Amino acid sequence: MTPAGAQAPGGARPKVAVLAAVAALVLGLDVLSKALVVAHLTEGEPVHLLGNIFEFTLLRNPGAAWNLGTGYTAVFTVLAVGVIAFVVRVARNLRSTGYAVAFGLLLGGASGNLGDRIFRAPGVFRGNVVDWIGVVPHYYPVFNIADSAICIAGATFVVLALLGIHMDGTRGDKAPAEPERPGEASPDSPAAAPEESSDSAVAAPGAPSPAPSPER
């Protein structure tokens, strides 16, 4: 039975294909853009597109998104592996398209930056992430497509939670129904007829009284 205030998934299938497609798109765009940036840009020589508002600049980042935690490269590598493992584990239970898109963005972004950690200098699991997008770079850190996907995924999770949408596709409060106790009638089932007690039974008018039992 579906709890009150919730909509049944209606037999919706897991949204694994949606998650995988979004993750593959994000990962492909991230890898391709970084390859082009490394091939055509020189560190310290940004390409200005809108004056000081928007530019392409090559930056190798040993930390997390927006140059945070530059001394914890190995820690962020382990965290990325954990995020990927978590997304893969919950994928089979996703029946909400919104959550599938959000987890796809998260998986693609984490995979993109993890690839840099593994395959780029200075070494395996210590590689620097390639950042190249600068928006008002004098005041805002340089980032990449993977960073953007991770942040959009976080914002999507917040919006879905505020809208009351759950990962299984239902909406609203999901208060679990109380299990029926053994021997207790369900509110939906017809009430059992009360048994007539022999002590409280009243004889119909005109009916003969039962004969008294003989004394011994």
The predicted pLDDT at position 179 comes to: 55
Q: List, for residues 23-43, the tens digit of each pLDDT value.
A: 999 999 999 999 999 999 999
| Confidence (pLDDT) at 125 | 86
CA–CA gap between residue 201 and residue 93 (Å, rounded): 58
Cα(136)–Cα(53) distance, rounded to whole angstroms? 4
Least reliable range by pLDDT among 42-46, 66-70, 158-162: 66-70
Which helix H or strand E contains 85, and what residues bound it? helix 73-90
In angstroms, rounded to a whole number, what is the distance separating the alpha carbons of residues 167 and 9?
10
CA pair distance 116, 133, nearest whole angstrom: 16
Q: Give the residue numbers annotated as catalytic, written as ranges.
A: 131, 147
Mean pLDDT lowest for which of 9-18, 53-62, 156-165?
9-18
**Per-residue model confidence as pLDDT tens digits over 73-131:** 778 889 999 999 999 999 999 999 999 999 999 999 999 999 999 999 998 888 999 99
